[in-house]
Structure 1
Amino acid sequence: MKQLCFATNNKHKIAEVSQMLAGKYKLLSLEDIGCHVELPEEQDTLEGNSRQKAEYVWHNFNISCFADDTGLEVEALGGAPGVYSARYAGPQRSDSDNIQHLLKNLEPHQNRRARFRTCITLILDGKEHQFEGIVEGTITTDWQGNKGFGYDPVFMPQGYNKTFAEMTPEEKNLISHRGRAVQKLVVFLSTR
């Protein structure tokens, strides 16, 4: 089985994507390849950050890899937090702080439309490919559910009456932004 590095140390992301690539590739984490540094994320777009992380791994560890960057884009907040979603409430990268900050900023707004967007950059044998996944939804007024991570307890995907945090991992993977981007990645990899 071919090996492929997912350029992250986020165990939640690794578990989600491992399920989707099962039997096709052996998925390695940054820890698995001996990368113990914080990958650079200095770009102002999701595409730029995912590319920067994938290029870092490719150039320093010479292994085919992919990296993602995900942002929650809230319409009433002009697309914020966007590329700054993980550190929206500060450099401590706390999910609960980020959610509290988001809900406070949305208090004066009726419009609660939002979308999650994931961009994946794959570097396979030195060639770059990008994949995008988007899921539309709304931000709830309070926390609902205890599964998932990030903004999952306050994001209700369009057409559903429960948040990502109330869904099983399998349910979420079928419709999530990351799931959609990874599905495109999986289809691409299955032709290689």
Structure 2
Amino acid sequence: MQLYFATGNQHKAQEVEAILRARGADVEILMHKGEEPVESGSTFLENALIKARAAFAATGAPSFADDSGIAVEVMGGAPGIFSAIWSGGRDDKTNRDLLLAQLIDIPEENRAAAFVCTMALVDDAGEVSVTGVWPGKIATQASGEHGFGYDPIFIPQGFSVTAAELEPEVKNSFSHRAMALQQLASLLTSR
């Protein structure tokens, strides 16, 4: 099966491909080329649909996209859909450093957070969406060499290390993106 994954983010493309491959899926991932559509939605779902619809319109092939980010409870769910540009740019370290600075006086027990990933699939049969939520908390400092984005400051529930300290195979079996992809794979099988 050939699916178009509407992303310009190489990290996401590699992670999605690894997760699907580990689940035995025979899917070719085609990355977005050229100018990406403007993510003008106010929710993860709206932004995922914008990208998936644009990819489907451009290719005619079944297309899916995700919008994901970190939601910090004490911050009312922020950075949320603004996670990738939280500091005003797309630099992962600068975004992490800003979030850590914003939480500097918040004790560890009040740093609950979750990674959220909403995926939308658009094909001839219509549109469907799924969401994966990976609960945890924000660490007090960055640690770990794996992953990307907020992984070095996110401690998943049930773990004592950050997502960036987990081996990629371990992270890819529990993450918000893995949860969403598992649901998406089930939907594809039923369609």
Same fold (TM over 0.5): yes
- Conserved in 2, the CA contact under 8 Å of 1:115 and 1:134? yes
> Which residue in the other structure is 1:88 paired with?
86
- Conserved in 1, the CA contact under 8 Å of 2:19 and 2:173? no
Shift of 1:93: 0.7
> Which residue in the other structure is 1:39 paired with?
37
Aligned with residue 27 of structure 1, among 17, 26, 29? 29
> Which residue in the other structure is 1:137 paired with?
136
Name structure 2 gaps, 5 residues minimum: none
Query: SS at the partner of 1:20?
Result: helix
Name structure 1 gaps, 5 residues minimum: none
Q: TM-score, normalised by structure 2?
A: 0.93
Aligned with residue 49 of structure 1, among 44, 47, 50? 47
> Which residue in the other structure is 1:123 paired with?
122
Query: SS at the partner of 1:37?
Result: coil
Shift of 1:60: 2.4
Q: How many residues align?
A: 186
Deviations 1:66-121 (A, max 9, x none): 0000021101111110110000000x211001001000110122211101111000
Deviations 1:102-154 (A, max 9, x none): 00110122211101111000012251010100010010000110110000000
Shift of 1:20: 2.7
Q: Does 1:107 align with 2:139?
A: no
Compute the RMSD of aligned alpha carbons.
1.2
| Residue type of the alignment partner of 1:135 | W
Q: Which has the higher helix share?
A: 2
> Which residue in the other structure is 1:189 paired with?
188
Q: Distance in 1 between matches of 2:26 and 2:113?
A: 33
Q: Distance in 2 between matches of 1:76 and 1:147?
A: 26
> Which residue in the other structure is 1:62 paired with?
60
- Please identify runs of 4+ aligned residues in structure 1 that moved more than 6 A: none
Query: SS at the partner of 2:169?
Result: helix
Q: TM-score, normalised by structure 1?
A: 0.93
